[in-house]
Structure 1
């Protein structure tokens, strides 16, 4: 599980800069003053479930203060929602947290009837929850290529910013407007595109999005084969960043994947990353 990184020195510095006392933190998190002090001295570390509340009381973004390497699994989503496993009983309406525990441990997948309630409680879409579940089961099969505009934007946000916060809607909107040379969109518009509430922006917005994410504007066109090619490229580059290039390179992309010339370019780049990582990086 790619748990979030807790840096006690950074937390202490951020708390002091925000003029928040250890007692204030303890009160907000329902912990003892000595517990918070122990976190900052390194004697103990907070539960992953406590990190969202800790980030909130320090007025910092969760991803910024406690970054995570890689994409979340089911347990990560629950912790990011600030929920302990036993609290999921009330969410799915069961007497025990067994269904959630089994899915998190990769033993039994969630029943379909539990998915909507958990996705809502975790603040994610049902598709995001299912993808996290696949990671809990260690599934390595390629995910389905994105089809809707919302899925394409979400994929770029998930895969293009490993280990650091992805850009917010306002930042994206500002970039698109700068590209267009006028106010053609807003943070609310970007949110609507990202969540699927809006599907057909004017062409200049799609061009601005492509410029911002550094992908071909064809990626946003309703052409499944084009989206699949960019998607496969993102998979390969994500694997390169995670030290898994060897397996991807050996497996290849299949008949519906990248064209040979594009795959060759990406593999050359992946090879350069291998060399920079040094011996044993992909072992």
Structure 2
């Protein structure tokens, strides 16, 4: 985890040393006076995307005021540029932030055509951008454990339809065996009993170019991938449960995937139906990856 460290006591002392009131700082950062007060009291913390503006207003170096313990990944570069993820669609010229979100989460690499625009927006070279992307993927795999925090704890919850589809495709099938867009379209159409989507339509969903398919398409996707239809709706609780379950399954994989034990991974734990889905996926992966001699 390379998120910058926020110290409310240091923020307050630096602001006072600059002889700046909370109201003046708030105006410079474009937040309310009460927001700044909350930061200094410890009742809240600023978004990582706000830290560059705070450092700029206080005339301090970002690395000095909010140090980071490791090299930046893609999310860090975006935050250091003061950009929120919802702003990325306009920067790369897409209808959603799905491509950037997928790369930040380590589930889908950036297309080459997006690199120049992102490098300019982040104020880095394309090589630096690629290096940050590698770190995002390494952390998603759990390769970066320098601070003892798991990848699932540091990544953002998949929120867009594109993110959710990609997450399931990348983590529910052995390497190289994920279904093609044509396969997915055929499965959804079979579920619906008529042609409701084409391979091109599936590609648009995966790339975040279409975020509002017909309900029957969402249901068909859920049926094919073996998850509750709620996973593809705007339900963070269900999405988090599936997301964390997949991460746990990935972390437990050492040569082959073992069964997942029912244990609480959130305040609510994993519900029996979601746990059953994950165990089914684990069994399929186990069979697919077990050598024939076993």
- Give TM-score, length-normalised by structure 1: 0.49
- Give TM-score, length-normalised by structure 2: 0.47
